[in-house]
Structure 1
């Protein structure tokens, strides 16, 4: 039996992930040189031997998701059919972007376009063709392909978590493939891979962030750029992230995400006005055309027929794909957590194009400005700075604009907040994975993983600086890329049932037994109430369980293999229809929902200021049905079960 402190966590996932993470911290701290050599060897092998697989897999993800978005299955909602999004579009997109790649665009906003401009793989350096290639490549690395990687994981978790009622953990996406084995050691291993990959990807972003934050301090305060200073900065930001993650998703991360999106637009707007405005606007139009024109060719271009450019692919494209893959459990689970209630089409179009579009605007303003300055007033100084001290390059650009100190302060503030949101969102997600998908993990677990995230980032810096951090991401991506391919199959297999399920819904539902006496008043009271978790738990363990046991008893007498199963606060009736047929499942489980606006009265606020309530929702094997049976009496629950069982037999007949 678990102690109260460990109640709610997944023991093997938590302790396995913790042992691997703390082992990495100890190893990198005690043997930094040996760790750096090991990372370098493993990284080189993966790039040379598995690079083709990374390129093919990411291209496949893009094709799969775009086809899914335009198909009729795009109408399927990530949750019950009547569910609505928890967040507005603006807040949703802000949270998507801040957790996805905020630190990276600040670090590479000037550096990457300048590096491709200075050393292009396919053009003559410092020419108009090199400038076009530089922006086309940068858009490719930070555009739709990056977000397709995140969307695969996010879609799988949101679909199985909110539509099928599975825990919001990586293993849930494998239930169509592994069945109930996802509840055992195999599922724990999948979650451990996800946690370790998340730590590696998060460490890459934190490593970039601390380098940029250090550069901000150097520019504004003369702070030295040393490893010790960066370790101190990691410690400070980790402490701030620990405080923020303790406030939860709605209070901490949501508000920071909205603030940094506004701050990002303010910074871009100032630079657009203060810089060569007409050139930047013209460049944006041409960059979009270049990106669309090269979209397919770059997706599968791995320089198989050349020698030297293949090293370029390993340094750039393969590193990026590995970085995004290693970080995908974190970003995927995070965007799934905030996307309940949207349709698959809304989810995919939003995730694939909204943050990617923002990135394209950002890189046009910063990248094209840097190229223009480097060719004109800077006379190559920016290229020299990028080659010598990449994090300082952003501030070198500001030197050629009015109000350079103001711009530097805004950029520094942006980096600091991006740093905090990435760290606390990562800690929250890892805590969810290691607590069986609990959307509000216990405080000590969130704090523990916030500290571990900072510890891993710091120790990887000790074991070879930023290069070691980046290599760790490439290594962690190898097993995760295979996991993601199977995820796509799991999504397709799960969604294929939606068509047959829709066809079976033509059967009329059984009429609800009429209420007698004061029963209708009790039912009306349940409909307009907003119960607490304890009230729903009492209903499930009482009325719902009694009703399901009555149906099970009747089915057993008629030679049907039926059982009632309790677990994780839910109760389920499972009927075995035969070896080659899926079981019929009728499950009642508590579902948390935001308090509707009309219910947020002074009375509701007086009840501890709560902003969420619970429903006793019905889930079948094919997903949630989207209605609440809290307040039903025993006869009504039985009637509902029988109606769904009748429909399910029709559904089985259609599929056979």
Structure 2
């Protein structure tokens, strides 16, 4: 193991390899550009953006066709891989491997638990929870209850029900998509990278996880391909979330503040927020991301607490308990892909989500790894896997569960703004829901600011991760490189939005998620192998 007190950037290998961080880098103008990862990914992304901007209809058709093919042909890959990732986490949680400390037995965490949790939660799901918090539970309820046409999706598990029974399956399906499975996907990447970087002294890059099996071949083209896939997956996964967040913020600004709607507003918003992210980059991870994440969590908690108090508090809290039970009861059925009748629901929701989480995994996983030094594997898995799921269950019941209750109680504004059968807009449900509560203008403004800040932290964290990969594992590359990637993230989001809107963004995430699912499966196997060999070095009682 490495010296637990050393800086992770100070490379001190404890494995038999001659590779050094940055040895393949070229350094024009003092930059740190990994050859060939940086150049292939940069040129590839430029070409993809240019094609989408010049031929938007062709780009939309190509992405939509690819999405349909992958969803229908390889649904078993996405579904099966996600299940295996959950099993991976459970093995680490209960086995002797859980005693391993990331960085060595004497390593001390760099951040407090509260700051650590705030950063991983903000990076992992912030924008998504704001976008889907009201939309998804109500969407599934509408499908189960047969409340018109909200997109043609089948009801979860083919269940047809209204009232409390319809709400139960709607909440179970929603929590399934935001629960253990996505956080297990993140944990595979984060745990693997943290272990191989802090305990093996290898570069903080995706390829390092394969060293125990493939040896020095990971520093050649095998590793180049893995890191290139990671950058593309991260870029398109981030673009999907940033696009969703920008469209929702623009809708809120039009609804609450009277800002004109349209692509011009969305594009302007992406550019402005990208500029704010650049300022955060200049402040660094402690001055920028950590403080913004803390502000995010405070505002997020205050908004949730207000809705909890302004709504039916006891009903929401009890609903959180019962929906958790319905989630557990339906977990096996929702995880299974064989013989499903609700194929539209499984493909349109579950497969998309699993591909989206997988495409986010390099970004979120590497960021969580960066801030998890000093944690034991057991503490790491518990905090990454269990605590965010509990917070998500509560949030979904505060927002979506209450929206369903308001609809069942006959509150007209909820039906008017959320259902909108003749002019359906999936960026509107959050703001329509808040109209049924007191202080609408204030809470809606807070929601808009939350989306914007989540946007900034995601862009900042994502550029940090992509820069680290494209700099051969160096975590202290010049700030101009992170700025370059932050700008690129905004351009990709703009290009895909203009070429096909949210559908194009989702299709891009699914396409990049497929090859990276295979990479993550191999990564999980390599990590289990290496940790099992390492576990005997840790005496009982150190977890």
Q: Does 1:399 align with 2:435?
A: yes
Which residue number corresponds to residue 220 of structure 2? 184
- Mapping of 1:212-611 within 5 angstroms? 212-300=248-336, 302=337, 304-306=339-341, 309-379=342-412, 380-385=415-420, 388-499=424-535, 501=537
Q: Is the 8 A contact 1:75 1:345 kept in 2?
A: yes
Q: Matches of 2:324 and 2:226 in 1, distance apart?
A: 38
User: Which of 135, 140, 143 does residue 111 from structure 1 map onto?
Assistant: 135
Q: Does 1 or 2 have the higher relative contact order (CA < 8 Å, sep 6+)? A: 2
**Segments of 4+ in structure 1 off by > 3 A?**
1-4, 499-503
Which structure's residues are more often helix, by fraction? 2
Q: Matches of 2:245 and 2:411 in 1, distance apart?
A: 26
Q: Does 1:92 align with 2:116?
A: yes
Q: CA deviation at 1:498?
A: 1.3
Q: CA deviation at 1:239?
A: 1.1
Q: Deviation string for 1:248-292 (max 9, x for gaps)?
A: 111100000011111111001111111122211221111111122
Q: Deviation string for 1:119-143 (max 9, x for gaps)?
A: 0323325332211001001111001
Q: Does 1:54 align with 2:45?
A: no
TM-score normalised over the length of structure 1:
0.74
Unaligned ranges ≥5, structure 2: 1-24, 145-154
Q: Deviation string for 1:590-619 (max 9, x for gaps)?
A: xxxxxxxxxxxxxxxxxxxxxxxxxxxxxx
Which residue number corresponds to residue 127 of structure 1? 163
Q: Matches of 1:40 and 1:390 in 2, distance apart?
A: 19
Q: Is the 8 A contact 2:316 2:398 kept in 1?
A: yes
Q: Matches of 1:64 and 1:305 in 2, distance apart?
A: 25
SS of residue in 1 equivalent to 2:109: coil
Q: Is the 8 A contact 1:169 1:191 kept in 2?
A: yes
Q: Aligned in 2, Cα 1:479/1:20: closer, same or farther, shift over 3 Å?
A: same
Q: Aligned in 2, Cα 1:415/1:305: closer, same or farther, shift over 3 Å?
A: closer
Q: Matches of 1:253 and 1:208 in 2, distance apart?
A: 21
Q: Is the 8 A contact 1:96 1:355 kept in 2?
A: no
Pair member with larger Rg: 1
Q: Is the 8 A contact 1:303 1:310 kept in 2?
A: no
Q: Matches of 1:385 and 1:103 in 2, distance apart?
A: 23
Q: CA deviation at 1:246?
A: 2.1
Q: CA deviation at 1:383?
A: 3.9
Report the number of matched residues: 500
Q: Does 1:144 align with 2:180?
A: yes
Q: Provide the aligned C-alpha RMSD in A.
A: 1.5
Q: CA deviation at 1:391?
A: 1.3
Q: CA deviation at 1:501?
A: 5.0
SS of residue in 1 equivalent to 2:352: helix
| Stretch of structure 1 that moved more, 103-112 or 217-226 | 217-226
Q: Deviation string for 1:533-587 (max 9, x for gaps)?
A: xxxxxxxxxxxxxxxxxxxxxxxxxxxxxxxxxxxxxxxxxxxxxxxxxxxxxxx
Q: Matches of 2:210 and 2:74 in 1, distance apart?
A: 24
Q: Matches of 1:354 and 1:142 in 2, distance apart?
A: 12
Q: Aligned in 2, Cα 1:281/1:15: closer, same or farther, shift over 3 Å?
A: same
TM-score normalised over the length of structure 2:
0.90
Q: CA deviation at 1:15?
A: 0.6
Q: CA deviation at 1:75?
A: 0.3
Q: Matches of 1:497 and 1:285 in 2, distance apart?
A: 40
Q: CA deviation at 1:382?
A: 4.3
Q: Is the 8 A contact 1:257 1:421 kept in 2?
A: yes
Which residue number corresponds to residue 43 of structure 1? 67
Q: Matches of 1:277 and 1:405 in 2, distance apart?
A: 22
Q: Does 1:25 align with 2:25?
A: no
Which residue number corresponds to residue 100 of structure 2? 76
Q: Matches of 2:537 and 2:394 in 1, distance apart?
A: 42
Q: Matches of 2:58 and 2:161 in 1, distance apart?
A: 37
Q: Is the 8 A contact 1:201 1:323 kept in 2?
A: yes
Q: Deviation string for 1:70-129 (max 9, x for gaps)?
A: 101100011121101111100000000110110011111110001000003233253322
Q: CA deviation at 1:295?
A: 2.3
Which residue number corresponds to residue 158 of structure 1? 194
SS of residue in 1 equivalent to 2:428: helix
